Amino acid sequence: MSGHIPVLLNECIEYLNIKPDGVYVDGTLGMGGHSEEILKRLTTGRLIAIDRDAEAVERAGRRLAPWAGRLSIVHGNFRDLGAILDEQGLAAVDGMLFDLGVSSPQLDETERGFSYMSDAPLDMRMDSSDNMDAWFIVNRWPREKIERILRDYGEERHAARIAARIAETREQREIKTTLELVEVIKSAMPPAALREKQHPAKRSFQAIRIAVNDELNAVHAMMDTAPDRLKPGGRLCVISFHSLEDRIVKNAIHDREDGCKCPREAPVCTCGFVKTLRSVTRKPITASEEELEANPRARSAKLRVAERV
């Protein structure tokens, strides 16, 4: 636990602009690192911490026990943010933080099946009670559907070749484990692709994980809801780790900040647009060199911050 390094921790705490009596949401509790720093700054305030991973809820609950009096932990999905806040009796809050990355335990605990570096059953579920896992996608989905997610979710340029090889292989035998899938992926890729710095299975594993957990739709739902549940002046901080999620966050902020559809030459707005968000930083915030030395997993992290107007 002590070795876990929350991504962009100092930047998140700074930009949340925490008030001691404020109410905040950590929509991706994980190991509780961000939540702990928020709680340390609250006196009469309150934190709602959400995670879809039951193991994360249990683990972080133990870590955050000293602050139990001002903490509510919810086992749920941030896509249901509105309903969760309603259940907590909250119309609006002072700030929200969402770290969209895969948590360290999910990567490091082999049996979860998220990593392409060690052998494990094909799982990749963030919530182990969900019905669909990576095995079902790899062994039961049509080849065309697998090709689509590899292309759209993984931005894998060899999607057609990999999907075809998966289909060929499963006609002979089930693909049961992560390293079996890695070998199938590698066997489909041209030699030049295997020599690239990035692991050949990285994009495919990303795509399958996104499909298993319906991650992009969850981010869309969260970005549709979160701005409306902020108090004026409240901050929304979102950390993303790949371009698909970052694009959703960026576009959602833009649509609420500069979504007027009227012609530029129009003297007044007639389309009915009402600005509800203001970007706090012009560009996404990335990890410092010092953080990257301590935590290489922060390399692809991008933090976007917006404020309710």
What does the pLDDT average to over 165-177? 98
Distance (Å, whole) CA 60 – CA 26: 12
> What are the C-alpha distances in Å from 278 to residues 51, 233, 235, 304?
27, 9, 9, 11
Q: What percent of the chain has pLDDT over 90?
A: 89
Distance (Å, whole) CA 97 – CA 100: 10
Phi, psi of 95 (to 5 degrees): -175, 155
Q: What is the mean pLDDT of the chain?
A: 95
Q: Report the sign of the C-alpha dihedral through residues 79, 80, 85, 86, in that order.
A: positive
- Identify the helix (H) or strand (E) that includes residue 234: strand 230-240
Q: How many Å is the Cα radius of gyration of the chain?
A: 21
> What is the pTM assigned to this prediction?
0.93
User: Which range (8-17, 23-32, 255-264) has the least confidence?
Assistant: 255-264
Q: Residue 143: which residues within 8 A CB-CB, separation 6 or more?
A: 163, 164, 166, 167
First to last CA, the chain: 38
pLDDT at 114: 94
Band of pLDDT at residue 1, cut at 50, 70 and 90: very low
pLDDT at 156: 97
Q: Report the sign of the C-alpha dihedral through residues 173, 175, 177, 179, in that order.
A: positive
Q: What is the pLDDT of residues 31-78, one digit of tens each?
A: 999 999 999 999 999 999 999 999 999 999 999 999 999 999 999 999
Residue type, 291: E
pLDDT at 264: 82
pLDDT at 4: 66
Residue type, 78: F
Tokens matching residue 22: 């404020």
CA 77 to chain CA centroid, nearest Å: 11
Q: Report the sign of the C-alpha dihedral through residues 156, 52, 254, 284, in that order.
A: negative
- 3-state SS class at 115: coil
pLDDT higher than threshold 50 for residue 2: no
Q: Which of 184, 187, 248 is nearest to 220 (CA)?
A: 248
pLDDT higher than threshold 80 for residue 104: no
Q: What percent of the chain has pLDDT over 70?
A: 98
Place of tokens 């390094």: 5
pLDDT higher than threshold 80 for residue 266: yes
pLDDT higher than threshold 90 for residue 117: yes
Band of pLDDT at residue 272, cut at 50, 70 and 90: confident
pLDDT higher than threshold 60 for residue 141: yes
CA angle 231, 63, 113 (to 5 degrees): 95
Of residues 73 and 296, more confidently modeled: 73
pLDDT at 5: 80
Tokens matching residue 235: 């901050």
Lateral strand order in the sheet of 277-279:
71-75, 46-51, 23-26, 93-99, 230-240, 302-308, 277-279
Q: What is the pLDDT of residues 216-254, one digit of tens each?
A: 999 999 999 999 999 999 999 999 999 999 999 999 999
The set of long-range contacts for 114-120, using a CB threshold of 8 Å and a minimum separation of 24, is 114/205, 114/209, 115/178, 115/205, 116/178, 116/179, 116/181, 116/182, 116/199, 116/201, 116/202, 116/205, 117/199, 118/178, 118/179, 119/177, 119/178, 119/179, 120/177, 120/178
